[in-house]
C-alpha cells in the first residue's frame, strides 16, 4: 500500500494535535500528596543498629513465615549482601564504609505514593491511611509489574507457585498497628534502632538527633522526600550511597511520573478511532468521486473522438467518391473526345 | 533497480552488520575505557616530585607540565661526586632555588634554559653509556604521568627546634630575623623571635622576588643551605634530599627529644587573662588565671595557640568586631568549640580521646553550659589568700593558682558506689545482668586521674556520675535508669528511649567508642535463659 508523504504527515499531525486537546488530569498525582495526616512510619537509625538480626527473627515469627535456611543467630550471613525474599520480608545487610561498619535493615519503605500501587492494574495494592502499603493476593494476576516499578527493588515473587501468584513484602504489620501494637521488628529491637510513631513526629526526632550530634550524622533524612516521601525514614553516619541506597531517585513520586502519559490514554482511545476513521472515509470518498469523474471524462472524450473520426471518414469517403466520379467523368470525357476524334 | 526480495535481504544483512559492529565496538570502547583508567592508577608514589609550572606565568601552556624527580637527580649527581652547584647558582652566599639562573627571564630564554640544559646532560650521560633521563619532548611532558606525589608537609616542633637551638649553640640570629622596611635589610631582633610562618606565608606574594617570599621558598633557602654548609664542614646535619624531610617514613625516623627544656624568650609562667581594654578600664568578667608554663608542655608548638604572633591574645583579638567585621572577637578566640586553637575548642577535642569518649560522645556539643562550669575558669578571687608583698588583684590571683591545683588533684572520691547492680526488671530471653558498678567507676576514676584536664574539670566528686546518670543534677545517690526511662515511643518524650534500649544504647555505645570489644556480644553481659518467655503475642 503506498501512501504519499504528504498524506502520512497529515495523518500523524492530526493524531498528534488531538492529544493536546484535553484538560490536565486532575488525578491525585498531579497535586503533591504529603501523606495521610496521622499516618505512621518507622525511623531507622543506622548509627544504632548492631546487626543482631532480631528484627528478622521477629518478622518471621509474627508473619508465620517458613523457617530460614540459616538460623537467625548465624551472623555469617552478613558477609554477603542479601535482598528480600519470599521467605524474608526484611533482612539486615552489613556495609563496611569509610568511617566504620554500618548495618542497614532493608524492607518495603511504604512510600507515601507507592509505585507498586500505581503500576498494578488490578488494584492489588492499597495505601492505607495508617501508612502501610498492603497487598491483596486474591486479585493478583502475577504480572510482576510492581517488581519493575518499585525503585527500591523490594517486592519478591513466589516463582515456584506460578498458578497462585503471590508477591511477598513487608506489611508494616498492618493487622497489629491497627490494634495499637508495635510492628514485630520494632518491638524486638534491643537498641531501639527502629522508632515507631507518627511520621511527622519521626521527622522531628530525626532532625533533633542531627542537631544534637552533628558529627555523628549526615545532615539528611533519607525518605523524607525521596520518591515523594516514604514511611520508612533513615539516619546514617556516612553518605547513603555507601550503604547501597540510591541517591538519584529525585523527589517526584512514581505515579506523578506517569500521570501525564496516562492522562492522554482516554483521549487517545476515544478520539483517535473516530478521527482517523473519519479522515479515512472522507479521503476514500474523495478518491472514488475523482475516479468516477475521470471515467466519465474518458467516456466523453472517447465518444467525441469517435464521432469526429466517423465524420472525417465520411468526408474522406465522400471525397473519394467525388474523385472517383470525376475521374470516371474525365475518363468518359476523354473517351468521348477520343471517339469524336476518330 | 533491485527487485523487492533482494532489496529486503540486503537491508536485513546491513542492519545485522551495523548492530554487530556497534555491539562489538561498544564492548571494545568499554574495555578501552577500563584500560585507560587502569593506566591512570599511579604506579609510583614519591615525595620528591617537582612539577615545572613556571611557564604558566606566561599564559596558556603548550605542553603538559613536566615532572621532575629531584631526589633521583641528587642521588645521580652524588654518584658522580657533583653537588648542588651543578644546577643551582649561588647568590649572596646563598644557593638559589631556581634552575641554572638567578633571576626570572623571558619565555623563550626560560624554555631554552630547561630544555637545553636538561637534554645536554642527559645526552652526555647516554654517550658515556649510563642510564639517563629523557631527551625527547614528550618523554618529559607526559600526557598522563604515572607518578603521584606522596609528599607530606614538614614542620618544626619543640623537639626539632631545640635540636637546632642546641646545634647553633643557642645563637638565635642564625635563623630568626626581622625586616627593616626603611633600609630594606634583614636584622636580628632579640626577644622578638617567632616562627617563620608569621611572615612567610604558604602562598607567595605577587612573585617570589617580592619582599616576603613564600614559606616554601624561605624554608628551602634557609634550611637546605645551612644543611649543605654544615655537611661541607663534615658535621652532622639535616637532610639534603626531598625525601629526608617530606617522606612519611623518614619523618618518623627524626629523633624526638622527650622532655624539651623550656627555651626562654621572656614568656610568662602564669598569666591573668582579663578583658579590660588597653585604656585601663575595669575588666568586664571575672579574670581567668592561666598557667602558661603548663600549657607550653601540653603542646608541640607555640603556633597551636599563637596563630599570628607571640604577643598576648588581646593584642590581635578585639573585644568587639562590630566596626571591623574581619577580625575574630576575643570571646570567639577563647570559646569557639570547633576551633582547636581556642581554649574550649582544644579542651573539647581532648574529649575525643578513647578514654574520655565513652561518656563525652553522648554529651551534645550544642549544649548550654551551666554557670558552675564557666566558673572553673572565670574564678572568683579568694580574698583570704592575699600576699604580703603585693596587694594587687592580679598578684593575688597568680599566687592563688598553684593552690587551686592542689585542691582538685588527688583522689577526692569519697562517695560509696554500689559494688554490683543487678538489673533484672527485663528478664525474658536472658538472665539478669550483674553490673559491676564499682569496678567500672573505679576504672573511670583512674583514667580520669591520668589527665590533668580531666581532673580539673571533674572537680566535684559526683561529676563523673553524670556521664551515665545524665540529665539530672549531680548527686551522691543519683536516680536509677528506670526512674526516667520506661516504655518506648512515649508521645510525651519523643527523644527518650525505652528502658531496654537505654541500657543497650548507653552500655554498648560506650563500649564501642572506648574500643572495649570484650563486651559487645549479647551473652557477654547476660547469659541466655534456658526457659525463654515468648515476648511478642
What pLDDT, in 10s, does the model give residues A52-82?
999 999 999 999 999 999 999 889 999 999 9
What pLDDT is stored for residue A28 in this prediction?
43
Taking contacts as CB-CB distances below 8 angstroms, the residues of chain B near A213 are 364-365
Mean pLDDT value of segment A17-46 = 73
Is the pLDDT at B440 greater than 50? The verdict is yes
Mean pLDDT value of segment B261-288 = 77
Say how many CB pairs under 8 Å bridge A and B.
Answer: 52
Helix (H, G, I), strand (E, B) or coil at B474: coil
Burial of B119 (0-12, 13-18, 19+ CB in 10 A): middle
Taking contacts as CB-CB distances below 8 angstroms, the residues of chain B near A57 are none
Taking contacts as CB-CB distances below 8 angstroms, the residues of chain A near B501 are 189-192
Measured CB to CB, residues of chain B less than 8 Å from chain A are 361, 364-366, 488-489, 491, 494-495, 497-498, 500-501, 504-505, 508, 520, 522, 535-537
What pLDDT is stored for residue B226 in this prediction?
87
Average pLDDT, chain A: 91
What pLDDT is stored for residue B171 in this prediction?
84
- For residues A114 and B257, the model is more confident at A114
Taking contacts as CB-CB distances below 8 angstroms, the residues of chain B near A62 are 536
Enter the DSSP assignment of A85: B
Taking contacts as CB-CB distances below 8 angstroms, the residues of chain B near A71 are none
What pLDDT is stored for residue A53 in this prediction?
94
Taking contacts as CB-CB distances below 8 angstroms, the residues of chain A near B505 are 48, 191-192
B491 contacts A190? CB cut-off 8 A: no
Residues 6+ apart with CB under 8 A from A251: A225, A226, A227, A228
* H helix or E strand, kind and range, residue B457: helix B452-457
Q: From residue A176, how far is each of A65, A124, B184 by CA, in Å?
A: 16, 20, 85
Mean pLDDT value of segment A116-132 = 94
Q: Which pLDDT band, with edges at 50, 70 and 90, does B33 fall under?
A: very low
Mean pLDDT value of segment B376-380 = 78
Q: From residue A335, how far is each of A321, A330, A342, B79 by CA, in Å?
A: 20, 8, 11, 148
What pLDDT is stored for residue B35 in this prediction?
42
B497 contacts A214? CB cut-off 8 A: no
Q: Which range scores top for mean pLDDT: A171-185, B55-69, B96-110, B319-333?
A: A171-185
Is the pLDDT at A178 greater than 90? The verdict is yes
What pLDDT is stored for residue A95 in this prediction?
95
Helix (H, G, I), strand (E, B) or coil at A334: helix
Mean pLDDT value of segment B210-223 = 81
Q: Which range scores top for mean pLDDT: A240-249, B114-123, B283-292?
A: A240-249
Distance from CA of B9 to the nearest CA of A (A): 20
A205 contacts B489? CB cut-off 8 A: no
What pLDDT is stored for residue B138 in this prediction?
80
What pLDDT is stored for residue B394 in this prediction?
58
Distance of CA A284 to the CA centre of its chain: 36
Taking contacts as CB-CB distances below 8 angstroms, the residues of chain A near B364 are 212-213
Mean pLDDT value of segment B354-361 = 90
Taking contacts as CB-CB distances below 8 angstroms, the residues of chain B near A60 are none
Is the pLDDT at A26 greater than 50? The verdict is no
Distance from CA of B1 to the nearest CA of A (A): 18
Measured CB to CB, residues of chain A less than 8 Å from chain B are 48, 50, 52, 58, 61-62, 181-182, 184, 187-192, 195-197, 201, 204-205, 208-209, 211-216
Mean pLDDT value of segment B386-409 = 56
Q: Which of B365, B508, B535 is opposite residue A50, by nearest beta carbon?
A: B508
Cα–Cα–Cα angle for B380, B386, B388, rounded to 5 degrees? 160
Q: Which pLDDT band, with edges at 50, 70 and 90, does A117 fall under?
A: very high
Taking contacts as CB-CB distances below 8 angstroms, the residues of chain A near B361 are 216
Q: Which of A50, A195, A212 is opposite residue B489, by nearest beta carbon?
A: A195
Q: What percent of chain B has pLDDT over 90?
A: 7
Is the pLDDT at A29 greater than 60? The verdict is no
A192 contacts B500? CB cut-off 8 A: yes
Kindly report which listed range (A24-28, A53-57, A116-120, B443-447) carries the lowest average pLDDT score: A24-28
Q: Which of B488, B504, B536 is opposite residue A62, by nearest beta carbon?
A: B536
What pLDDT is stored for residue B237 in this prediction?
85
Mean pLDDT value of segment A270-296 = 94
Cα–Cα distance measured from residue A38 to residue A130, given in angstroms and rounded to the nearest whole number: 7
Shortest CA distance from B492: residue in chain A: A201
Mean pLDDT value of segment A3-18 = 83
Question: Contact, A216 vs A47, CB < 8 A?
Answer: yes
Shortest CA distance from B367: residue in chain A: A212
User: What does the buried/exposed string (b/e) look like for B299-332 if buried means 16 or more CB atoms within 10 Å of the residue's CB?
Assistant: eeebbebbeeebeebbeebbeeeeeeeeebbbee
Cα–Cα distance measured from residue A211 to residue A205, given in angstroms and rounded to the nearest whole number: 10
Residues 6+ apart with CB under 8 A from B404: B289, B379
Is the pLDDT at B109 greater than 50? The verdict is yes
Taking contacts as CB-CB distances below 8 angstroms, the residues of chain B near A48 are 505
Closest residue by Cα to residue B447 from B356, B349, B367? B356
Q: Which of B495, B522, B537 is opposite residue A205, by nearest beta carbon?
A: B495
Is the pLDDT at B372 greater than 80? The verdict is no
φ/ψ bin of B132: left (φ > 0), alpha (ψ from -120 to 50), beta (otherwise): beta
Q: Give the model confidence (pLDDT) of B174-189 as tens digits.
A: 888 888 877 878 888 8
Length of chain B: 537
What pLDDT is stored for residue B193 in this prediction?
85
Is the pLDDT at B164 greater than 70? The verdict is yes
What pLDDT is stored for residue B31 in this prediction?
45
Q: Phi first, then psi: what are they for A101, rounded to 5°?
A: -85, 130
Mean pLDDT value of segment B356-360 = 91
Taking contacts as CB-CB distances below 8 angstroms, the residues of chain A near B498 are 192
What pLDDT is stored for residue B28 in this prediction?
55
Q: Which pLDDT band, with edges at 50, 70 and 90, does B38 fall under?
A: very low
Shortest CA distance from A211: residue in chain B: B366
Is the pLDDT at B208 greater than 80? The verdict is no
Mean pLDDT value of segment B144-169 = 86
User: pTM (2 decimals)?
Assistant: 0.75
Question: Contact, A267 vs A22, CB < 8 A?
Answer: yes
Cα–Cα distance measured from residue A164 to residue A150, given in angstroms and rounded to the nearest whole number: 22
What pLDDT is stored for residue B26 in this prediction?
58
Is the pLDDT at A83 greater than 80? The verdict is yes
Taking contacts as CB-CB distances below 8 angstroms, the residues of chain B near A184 are 536
Kindly report which listed range (A269-273, B44-48, B268-272, B406-410) carries the lowest average pLDDT score: B406-410
Q: Which pLDDT band, with edges at 50, 70 and 90, does A19 fall under?
A: low
Distance from CA of B537 to the nearest CA of A (A): 8
Q: B379 is written with which cell numbers?
A: 574564678
Cα–Cα distance measured from residue B124 to residue B296, given in angstroms and rounded to the nearest whole number: 55
Residues 6+ apart with CB under 8 A from A96: none
Question: Contact, B207 vs B216, CB < 8 A?
Answer: no
Burial of B521 (0-12, 13-18, 19+ CB in 10 A): exposed
Is the pLDDT at B410 greater than 50? The verdict is no
For an interface test with B, give the residue of A41, A48, A193 to mutate (most B CBs within 10 A): A48
Is the pLDDT at B229 greater than 70? The verdict is yes
Q: What percent of chain B has pLDDT over 70?
A: 85
Shortest CA distance from B490: residue in chain A: A197
B495 contacts A215? CB cut-off 8 A: no
Kindly report which listed range (B19-28, B248-257, B446-455) carries the lowest average pLDDT score: B19-28
Shortest CA distance from A209: residue in chain B: B495
User: Going by DSSP bridges, is the β-strand pair B147-149/B44-46 parallel, antiparallel, or unpaired?
Assistant: parallel
- For residues A98 and A222, the model is more confident at A222
Q: Which of B489, B504, B505 is opposite residue A197, by nearest beta carbon?
A: B489
Distance of CA A319 to the CA centre of its chain: 86
Q: Which of B494, B504, B536 is opposite residue A204, by nearest beta carbon?
A: B494
What pLDDT is stored for residue A158 in this prediction?
94
Q: A249 is written with which cell numbers?
A: 531517585
Q: Which pLDDT band, with edges at 50, 70 and 90, does B484 fall under?
A: very high
Cα–Cα distance measured from residue A128 to residue A131, given in angstroms and rounded to the nearest whole number: 5
Q: Which of A196, A208, A214 is opposite residue B489, by nearest beta carbon?
A: A196
Taking contacts as CB-CB distances below 8 angstroms, the residues of chain A near B365 are 213-215
Q: Give the model confidence (pLDDT) of B217-226 as tens digits.
A: 888 888 888 8
Average pLDDT, chain B: 80
Is the pLDDT at B95 greater than 60? The verdict is yes
What pLDDT is stored for residue B1 in this prediction?
55
Distance from CA of B497 to the nearest CA of A (A): 7
Strands (E), A122-213: 125-127, 133-135, 156-157, 167-168, 194-198
Shortest CA distance from A215: residue in chain B: B365
Distance from CA of A50 to the nearest CA of B (A): 9
Enter the DSSP assignment of B224: I
Q: What percent of chain A has pLDDT over 70?
A: 96
For an interface test with A, give the residue of B489, B490, B496, B513 to mutate (most A CBs within 10 A): B489
Q: Which of B491, B494, B501 is opposite residue A190, by nearest beta carbon?
A: B501
Kindly report which listed range (B135-149, B486-500, B505-519) carries the lowest average pLDDT score: B135-149
Q: What share of chain A is helix, strand, coil (3-state, %, to 5)?
A: 45, 10, 40
Residues 6+ apart with CB under 8 A from A204: B494
Q: Which pLDDT band, with edges at 50, 70 and 90, does B39 fall under?
A: very low
Taking contacts as CB-CB distances below 8 angstroms, the residues of chain B near A47 are none
Q: B227 is written with which cell numbers?
A: 644543611
Mean pLDDT value of segment B40-65 = 77
Amino acid at each position: 500500500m503506498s501512501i504519499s508523504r504528504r498524506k502520512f504527515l497529515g495523518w500523524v499531525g492530526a493524531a498528534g494535535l488531538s492529544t493536546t486537546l484535553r484538560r490536565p488530569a486532575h488525578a491525585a498525582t498531579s497535586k503533591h500528596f504529603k501523606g495521610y495526616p496521622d499516618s505512621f512510619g518507622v525511623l531507622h537509625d543506622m548509627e544504632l543498629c548492631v546487626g543482631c538480626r532480631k528484627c528478622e527473627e521477629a518478622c518471621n515469627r509474627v508473619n508465620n513465615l517458613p523457617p530460614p535456611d540459616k538460623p537467625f543467630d548465624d551472623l555469617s550471613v552478613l558477609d554477603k549482601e542479601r535482598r528480600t525474599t519470599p521467605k524474608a520480608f526484611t533482612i539486615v545487610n552489613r556495609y563496611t564504609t569509610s568511617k566504620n561498619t554500618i548495618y542497614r535493615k532493608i524492607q518495603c519503605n511504604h512510600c507515601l505514593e507507592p509505585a507498586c500501587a500505581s503500576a498494578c492494574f488490578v488494584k492489588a495494592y492499597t495505601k492505607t491511611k495508617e501508612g502501610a502499603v498492603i497487598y491483596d493476593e486474591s486479585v493478583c494476576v502475577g504480572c510482576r509489574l510492581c517488581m519493575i516499578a518499585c525503585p527500591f527493588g523490594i517486592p519478591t515473587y513466589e516463582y515456584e507457585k506460578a498458578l497462585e501468584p503471590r508477591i511477598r513484602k513487608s506489611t508494616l504489620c498492618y493487622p497489629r498497628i491497627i490494634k495499637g501494637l508495635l510492628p514485630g521488628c520494632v518491638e524486638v529491637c534491643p537498641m531501639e534502632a527502629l522508632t515507631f510513631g507518627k511520621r511527622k513526629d519521626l521527622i522531628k526526632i530525626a532532625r533533633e538527633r542531627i542537631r544534637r550530634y552533628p558529627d555523628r550524622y549526615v545532615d539528611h533524612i533519607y525518605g523524607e522526600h525521596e520518591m515523594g516521601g516514604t514511611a520508612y525514614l533513615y539516619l546514617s553516619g556516612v553518605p547513603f550511597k555507601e550503604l547501597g541506597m540510591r541517591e538519584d531517585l529525585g523527589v517526584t513520586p512514581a505515579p506523578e511520573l506517569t500521570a501525564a502519559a496516562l492522562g492522554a490514554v482516554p483521549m487517545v482511545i476515544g478520539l483517535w478511532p473516530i478521527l482517523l476513521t473519519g479522515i479515512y472515509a472522507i479521503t476514500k470518498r474523495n478518491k472514488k468521486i475523482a475516479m468516477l469523474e475521470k471515467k466519465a471524462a474518458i467516456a466523453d472524450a472517447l465518444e467525441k473522438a469517435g464521432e469526429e473520426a466517423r465524420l472525417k471518414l465520411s468526408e474522406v469517403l465522400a471525397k473519394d467518391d467525388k474523385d472517383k466520379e470525376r475521374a470516371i467523368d474525365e475518363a468518359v470525357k476523354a473517351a468521348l473526345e477520343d471517339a469524336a476524334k476518330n | 533497480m533491485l527487485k523487492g526480495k533482494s532489496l529486503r535481504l540486503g537491508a536485513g544483512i546491513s542492519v545485522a552488520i551495523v548492530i554487530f559492529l556497534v555491539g562489538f565496538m561498544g564492548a571494545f570502547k568499554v574495555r578501552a575505557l577500563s584500560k585507560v583508567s587502569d593506566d591512570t592508577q599511579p604506579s609510583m608514589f614519591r615525595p620528591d616530585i617537582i612539577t615545572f609550572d613556571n611557564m604558566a606565568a606566561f599564559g596558556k601552556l603548550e605542553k603538559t607540565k613536566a615532572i621532575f624527580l629531584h631526589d633521583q637527580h641528587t642521588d645521580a649527581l652524588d654518584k658522580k661526586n657533583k653537588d648542588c652547584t651543578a644546577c643551582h647558582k649561588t647568590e649572596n652566599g646563598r644557593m638559589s632555588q631556581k634552575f641554572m639562573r638567578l633571576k626570572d627571564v623571558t619565555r623563550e630564554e626560560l624554555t631554552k634554559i630547561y630544555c637545553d640544559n636538561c637534554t645536554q646532560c642527559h645526552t652526555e650521560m647516554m654517550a658515556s653509556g649510563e642510564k639517563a633521563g629523557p631527551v625527547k619532548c614528550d618523554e618529559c611532558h607526559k600526557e598522563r604521568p604515572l607518578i603521584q606525589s606522596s609528599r607530606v608537609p614538614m614542620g618544626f616542633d619543640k623537639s626539632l627546634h631545640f635540636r637546632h637551638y642546641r646545634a647553633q649553640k643557642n645563637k638565635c640570629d642564625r635563623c630568626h630575623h626581622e625586616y627593616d622596611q626603611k633600609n630594606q635589610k634583614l636584622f636580628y631582633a632579640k626577644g622578638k623571635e617567632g616562627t617563620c610562618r608569621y611572615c612567610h606565608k604558604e602562598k607567595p606574594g605577587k612573585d617570589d622576588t617580592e619582599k616576603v617570599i613564600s614559606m616554601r621558598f624561605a624554608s628551602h633557602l634557609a634550611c637546605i643551605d645551612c644543611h649543605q654548609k654544615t655537611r661541607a664542614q663534615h658535621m652532622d646535619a639535616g637532610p639534603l634530599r626531598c625525601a629526608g624531610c617530606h617522606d612519611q617514613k623518614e619523618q618518623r625516623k627524626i629523633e624526638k627529644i622527650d622532655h624539651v627544656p623550656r627555651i626562654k624568650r621572656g614568656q610568662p609562667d602564669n598569666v591573668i587573662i582579663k578583658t579590660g581594654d588597653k585604656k585601663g578600664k575595669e575588666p568586664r568578667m571575672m579574670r581567668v588565671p592561666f598557667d602558661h608554663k603548663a600549657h607550653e608542655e601540653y603542646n608541640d608548638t607555640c603556633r597551636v595557640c599563637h596563630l599570628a604572633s607571640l604577643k598576648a591574645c588581646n593584642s590581635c583579638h578585639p573585644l568587639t568586631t562590630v566596626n571591623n567585621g574581619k577580625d575574630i572577637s576575643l570571646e570567639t578566640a577563647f570559646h569557639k568549640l570547633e576551633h582547636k586553637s581556642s581554649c574550649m575548642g582544644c579542651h573539647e577535642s581532648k574529649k575525643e580521646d578513647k578514654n574520655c569518649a565513652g561518656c563525652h560522645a553522648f554529651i551534645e556539643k550544642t549544649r548550654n553550659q551551666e554557670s558552675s562550669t564557666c566558673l572553673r575558669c572565670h574564678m572568683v578571687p579568694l580574698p583570704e589568700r592575699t600576699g604580703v608583698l603585693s596587694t594587687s588583684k592580679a598578684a593575688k590571683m597568680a599566687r592563688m593558682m598553684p593552690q587551686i591545683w592542689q585542691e582538685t588533684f588527688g583522689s577526692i572520691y569519697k562517695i560509696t558506689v554500689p559494688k554490683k547492680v543487678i538489673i533484672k526488671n527485663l528478664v525474658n530471653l536472658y538472665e539478669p545482668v550483674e553490673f559491676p558498678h564499682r569496678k567500672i567507676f573505679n576504672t573511670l576514676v583512674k583514667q580520669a586521674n591520668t589527665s590533668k584536664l580531666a581532673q580539673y574539670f571533674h572537680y566535684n566528686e559526683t561529676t563523673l556520675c553524670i556521664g551515665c546518670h545524665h540529665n539530672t543534677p549531680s548527686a551522691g545517690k543519683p536516680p536509677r535508669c528506670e526512674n526516667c526511662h520506661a516504655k518506648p515511643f512515649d508521645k510525651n518524650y519523643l527523644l527518650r528511649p525505652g528502658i531496654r534500649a537505654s541500657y543497650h544504647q548507653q552500655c554498648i555505645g560506650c563500649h564501642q567508642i572506648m574500643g572495649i570489644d570484650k563486651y559487645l556480644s549479647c551473652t557477654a553481659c547476660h547469659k541466655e535463659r534456658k526457659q525463654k518467655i515468648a515476648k511478642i503475642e
